[in-house]
């Protein structure tokens, strides 16, 4: 079996894969990645909480130009997952305004990014339409 590592610390490659956030214990604000203090209330205590795997596409853009080697066009969006905003690409959909819609239901998916010389596979996440 290939060893896998998540591309970001807040992706958990469990069964099923899921995201985790740091939630401020004082006000409930959620953040991905490490924070020394809450941007909403300045408290310094956090707990790790799982984030759901399905959500609603709240805003998006169809990216037509990117760094060399990155295939375009692709859809970059912000997904509301049970009140937590998650930035991520939307995959497995034609990247056109006719196929991508505000309010569409999406779910978390993972995909291989690449493999290093020792055979360890990096895994990223995105969202795909439900149904």
pLDDT tens sequence across 52-98: 999 999 999 999 999 998 899 999 999 999 999 999 999 999 999 99
Give the residue-averaged pLDDT of 111-129.
94
pTM of the model: 0.90
For the chain, the 3-state helix, strand and coil shares in percent, each to the nearest 5, are 0, 50, 50
Annotate 77-98 with b (16+ C-beta within 10 A) or e (fewer). bebebeebebebbbbebebeee
As a whole number, the mean pLDDT across the chain is 95
Looking at the predicted structure, is the pLDDT value of residue 131 above 90?
no
In the prediction, which pLDDT does 130 show? 96
Percentage of the chain with pLDDT > 70?
Answer: 99
In the prediction, which pLDDT does 42 show? 97
Total domain count, the chain: 1
Give the residue-averaged pLDDT of 19-43.
95
The label of the residue with tokens 């984030």 reads 51
In the prediction, which pLDDT does 51 show? 95
Paired strand residues for 12: 18
Q: What is the domain range of residue 121?
A: 4-129
In the prediction, which pLDDT does 1 show? 63
- 20 or 1: which carries more pLDDT confidence? 20
Strand 4-6 vs strand 30-31: parallel, antiparallel, or unpaired? unpaired
């Amino acid at each position: 079996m290939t060893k896998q590592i998540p591309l970001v610390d807040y992706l958990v490659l469990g069964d099923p894969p899921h995201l985790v956030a740091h939630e401020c214990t004082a006000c409930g604000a959620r953040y991905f990645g490490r924070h020394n203090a809450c941007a909403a209330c300045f408290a310094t205590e956090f707990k790790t909480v799982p984030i759901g795997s399905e959500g609603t596409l709240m805003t998006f853009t169809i990216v037509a130009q990117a760094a060399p080697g990155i295939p375009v066009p692709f859809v970059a969006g912000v997904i509301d997952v049970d009140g937590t905003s998650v930035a991520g690409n939307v995959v497995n959909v034609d990247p056109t305004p006719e196929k991508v819609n505000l309010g569409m239901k999406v779910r978390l998916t993972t995909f291989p990014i690449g493999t290093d010389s020792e055979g360890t596979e990096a895994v990223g996440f995105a969202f795909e339409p439900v149904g």
